[in-house]
Amino acid sequence: MSETTMKDLYEEGRPYEKCLAGGPEKLTDTELLAVMIRTGTYGESACRLAERILSLPGYEGLPGLRRIPLEKLRELRGVGKVKAVQLKCLGELAARMAKASAGERLCLDSPATIADYFMEELRHEEQEHLMALFLNTGNRVLAEKELFRGTVNAAPVSAREIFLEALKVHAVNLVLVHNHPSGDPTPSAEDIQMTRKIYRAGELLGIRLLDHVIIGDCCYTSLRERGILTERT
C-alpha cells in the first residue's frame, strides 16, 4: 500500500476520531462536510474533496452549498449524482433547521426575530423573493407564502394578489419580507413606494400591514422602525 494511500486513509478517519473524542463542535467545516460525504475518490480523501468543494470560486464556504447549482456539483470530480443530491439536501436541511429554531423565538412585534426567521432562507438568494406572513386577530401566523420571485433588481408586486391571498386565509394583519441580493437592506425608493401602496390598500380593506422587513447579508431593515408605516403614510 503506497504512502499516499495510507495518508488518505488517516485523513478519512480523522474527523470521526475527533468527533468521538470531543464532539462535532470540534470539527472544522471541512471535516464536518467530509463526514457527510463519507468517501473521497481515487487518490483523494473525503477531507480533500470536502476542501475542494468548499473552495469553489463564487460558492466558497458552507453557505455556498445552498447556492451552487446541482448540475455544477455533479460536474466536480469525485462528486457525481448521489453526492450532489446529498450535498444539496444537506444545505436545505441546515436552512430549515435554522428557520425552525428561529421560529421558536418568532415575535411579530420584533423585526429582529422576523429577520432571524427568514435570514438563512433568503440571504443567499440571487433573486428577490417576496414573502408574506398572514396573521389572525391575535397575530398568530395563519399562513406563510412566497408571493413573488423577481429579478436581482426588483420583485414585481401586485397589492391585489397580496390581499387575495390574505382573504383566502381570513387574515386581518400581515407582515411582508423580501431580500436584497446585494446584501444591503437599505430600502430603495421603489421599496418605500410599494410598501406605502400596500399599507394604504390594507387600511381600506381592514387588513393591516404591520411591517415590511428587508433582508440583507446578516442584517435587516424594518420599514416600521424607519417610520414609513404610520397613519400618515
Please give the pLDDT value at position 103.
Answer: 62
Please give the pLDDT value at position 6.
Answer: 38
Q: What is the pTM of this model?
A: 0.67
Taking 80 as the threshold, does the pLDDT of residue 81 lie above it? yes
CA distance 78 to 56: 14
Percent of the chain with pLDDT over 70: 88
Q: Which of 117, 116, 112 is nearest to 141 (CA)?
A: 117
Please give the pLDDT value at position 5.
Answer: 46
CA distance 12 to 191: 50
DSSP string for residues in 136-173: -TT--EEEEEEEEE--SS-----HHHHHHHHHHTT-SE
93 grid coordinates: 436541511
Q: What is the mean pLDDT of residues 218-228?
A: 93
